[in-house]
């Protein structure tokens, strides 16, 4: 089972996967970032599919062509499973169709609550007493798809966005490697990804 981790930023989730350790075949990024440096130091193969060549962050960013080329790059390296780890580009159906049911993501809320890029701030603004993190199968719909595991994090009275997000990340750095490891084992054994959700209920 060949896993690709997609990164865009500091690579702290990737570091947690490496420390686990999770078997990683490839690390891919959509922009130059520290995550690629983390991968290189760990001796992992890396590839940069830079969105700068597709319009960057302008309104005319060619999301469809980027998604197709990213999928082709990963398939050329025989990737079986994809794990988004702070990946900042929303990909289209072309990418998900290349890896049906095999794209994982972690999100800093208890989905379906607080979808999108500002989940932690939304949780604070809503007055929620708890939030957390969710590992799920990614789909074309943002922060949707079958949930594999969730862990709760209490919201404290003195929390700001940075403090709360860091506590969520602490949980995420344990949960995500565990789920990915179990998904890889399930697929190696010919089982469905959904079986991992049942396993994680008892962990």
**Whether residue 25 has pLDDT greater than 80:** yes
**Whether residue 75 has pLDDT greater than 80:** yes
What is the band of 201 on the pLDDT scale with cuts at 50, 70, 90? confident
- Centre a 10 Å sphere on the Cβ of residue 163 and count the other Cβ atoms it contains: 12
What is the band of 194 on the pLDDT scale with cuts at 50, 70, 90? confident
Distant-in-sequence, close-in-space partners of 68: CB < 8 Å, separation ≥ 6 = 94, 95
Residues 110 and 48: their CA atoms lie apart, in Å, by 31
The mean pLDDT of 18-25, rounded to a whole number, is 96
What is the band of 100 on the pLDDT scale with cuts at 50, 70, 90? very high
The mean pLDDT of 73-82, rounded to a whole number, is 98
Provide the pLDDT for residue 202.
59
Q: How confident is the prediction for the chain on average, in pLDDT?
A: 96
Tokens representing residue 190 in the block: 């010919």
> What structural domains and CATH numbers belong to the chain?
1-100 (3.40.50.170), 106-203 (3.40.50.170)
Provide the pLDDT for residue 197.
87
Sheet holding 26-29, edge to edge: 46-48, 26-29, 3-7, 81-84, 103-107, 130-137, 147-154
Tokens representing residue 125 in the block: 């603004």
Residue length of the chain:
203
For residue 170, the number of C-alpha atoms closer than 13 Å in the C-beta half-sphere is: 9
Question: What is the C-alpha end-to-end distance of the chain, expressed in Å?
Answer: 23
Query: Which residues are known to be catalytic?
Result: 107
Provide the pLDDT for residue 139.
96
The mean pLDDT of 140-155, rounded to a whole number, is 95
Provide the pLDDT for residue 203.
60
- Taking the alpha carbons of 192, 119, 33, 14 in that order, is the dihedral positive or negative? negative
What is the band of 64 on the pLDDT scale with cuts at 50, 70, 90? very high
Distant-in-sequence, close-in-space partners of 100: CB < 8 Å, separation ≥ 6 = none
């Amino acid at each position: 089972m060949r896993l690709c981790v997609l990164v865009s930023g500091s690579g702290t989730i990737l570091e947690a996967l490496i420390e686990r350790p999770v078997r990683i075949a490839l690390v891919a990024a959509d922009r130059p970032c520290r995550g690629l440096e983390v991968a290189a130091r760990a001796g992992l193969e890396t590839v940069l599919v830079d969105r700068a060549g597709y319009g960057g962050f302008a309104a005319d960013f060619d999301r469809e062509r980027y998604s197709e080329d990213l999928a082709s790059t990963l398939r050329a390296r025989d990737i079986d499973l994809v794990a988004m780890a702070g990946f900042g580009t929303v990909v289209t159906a072309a990418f998900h169709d290349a890896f049906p049911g095999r794209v994982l993501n972690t999100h800093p809320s208890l989905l379906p609550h607080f979808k999108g890029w500002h989940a932690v701030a939304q949780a604070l603004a809503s007055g929620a007493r708890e939030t957390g993190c969710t590992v799920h199968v990614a789909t074309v719909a943002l922060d949707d798809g079958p949930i594999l595991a969730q862990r709760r994090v209490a919201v404290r009275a003195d929390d700001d966005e940075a403090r709360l997000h860091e506590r969520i990340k602490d949980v995420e750095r344990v949960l995500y490697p565990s789920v990915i490891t179990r998904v890889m084992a399930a697929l190696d054994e010919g089982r469905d990804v959904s079986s991992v959700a049942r396993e994680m209920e008892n962990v």
